[in-house]
Amino acid sequence: MTSRSYTFSHAVVRKPSASIVDGLRAVDTGVPDLERFRQDHAHYVSLLASTGAAVSVLEPLDDYPDSVFVEDAALCLPELAIAMRPGTPSRVGEAAVMAPVLSEFYSEVVAIDGPGFIDGGDVLVTEREILVGRSARTDAAGIAELAQITSPWGYTVREVETPAGVLHFKTDCSLMDEETVLATSRLSDTGCFDGYKVINTADGEDAAANAIRFNGLVLMPAGFPKTAARLSAAGYDVREVGNSEAAKLDGGMSCLSLRFSPPA
């Protein structure tokens, strides 16, 4: 039996647009180099496709500078897709644009109507539950609406706290397999992963925590050799992807794709 939380037949990505230079950022560390971003994004897409998954590559959206980060706009479960309600006004329209794309794969696409807000980057789906981090982009009302939408399919939604100063819950964690999470110490020390096996990022490599398990591969940002070695030693097939430009916009591996297996 394959895992529903990291075995996927499909992915949706969106090419970075020229307007990416105007994207949101918590701290200004420089303007993203569009050409380098495009090259890194193409590498990322090629790795997803190398697992045998069908990868849909959407064209850039200049009206939405952050739209390359498709994960915030939707949550894709085996039974249905849910258009999120991003917690930043400039990004709310991204969910509406993504909904018809997902309707090509799902017969049921629903939306978070509000008044709450929720970003996909705060949602970690495991085999046993959906963990959602409260953050500057996700509030209690948004989490409650997600719980209401998913409960008919037997999902348990658990609200947890995102560490202070951390943009999204998944900035600091990612799922490696049915029982294992990669996480920063500052997040795992809160106890939110009690009952899971935790691999902590190495000292000074917190930015390595946002990785993705996609079928047989673990994609992680390049430049964090100690954490990469820990994952390799644990038996994962690690592939490093340049993330310097996405990181200038607080983006990482999970942000760049929607990963799912639609209903048969």
Place of tokens 């915030």: 72
User: Would residue 46 count as lying in a domain?
Assistant: yes
Of 61-75, 89-103, 208-222, where does the model show the most confidence? 208-222
Strands 157-161 and 109-111: unpaired
Burial class (CB in 10 A: 0-12, 13-18, 19+), 84: buried
Report in angstroms the alpha-carbon separations of 169 from 107, 135, 157, 219, 221: 29, 7, 14, 18, 17
Mean pLDDT taken over the chain: 94
pLDDT range class, residue 1, cuts 50, 70, 90: very low
User: Would residue 76 count as lying in a domain?
Assistant: yes
User: Would residue 47 count as lying in a domain?
Assistant: yes
| pLDDT on residue 31 | 82
| pLDDT on residue 244 | 94
What number of other Cβ atoms are within 10 A of residue 10's Cβ? 17
- At residue 77's C-alpha, the angle toward residues 73 and 78, to 5°, is 145
- How does pLDDT run across 186-241, given as a tens digit for each residue? 999 999 999 999 999 999 999 999 999 999 999 999 999 999 999 999 999 999 99
CA 31, CA 157: separation in Å to the nearest integer?
Answer: 37
Place of tokens 């590559």: 57
pTM for the predicted model, two decimal places: 0.95
Candidate list 41, 76, 168, 173, residue with the active-site label: 168
Give Cα 80 distance to the centre of its chain: 17
Number of structural domains (the chain) is 1
Candidate list 76, 173, 192, 255, residue with the active-site label: 255
User: Would residue 16 count as lying in a domain?
Assistant: yes
CA 212, CA 80: separation in Å to the nearest integer?
Answer: 21
User: Would residue 1 count as lying in a domain?
Assistant: no
CA 5, CA 76: separation in Å to the nearest integer?
Answer: 10
Residue 26 pLDDT > 80: no
Minimum mean pLDDT range among 26-35, 56-65, 102-111: 26-35
User: Would residue 105 count as lying in a domain?
Assistant: yes
Residue 4 pLDDT > 90: no
Residues whose CB falls within 8 Å of the CB of residue 100, separated by 6 or more in sequence, listed in order: none
Element (DSSP H or E) covering residue 105: none
Cα distance from N-terminal residue to C-terminal residue, the chain = 16
- How does pLDDT run across 123-178, given as a tens digit for each residue? 999 999 999 999 989 999 999 999 999 999 999 999 999 988 888 999 999 999 99
pLDDT range class, residue 110, cuts 50, 70, 90: very high
Residue 117 pLDDT > 80: yes
User: Would residue 2 count as lying in a domain?
Assistant: no
Here the CATH number for the domain that contains residue 162 is 3.75.10.10
Instruction: Report the percentage of the chain scoring pLDDT > 70.
Output: 96
What number of other Cβ atoms are within 10 A of residue 214's Cβ? 22
| pLDDT on residue 101 | 97
| pLDDT on residue 207 | 95
Structural domain boundaries enclosing 153: 10-260
Annotated active-site residue 41? The verdict is: no
pLDDT range class, residue 23, cuts 50, 70, 90: low
Q: Residue 53 in contact with residue 219, Cβ under 8 Å?
A: no
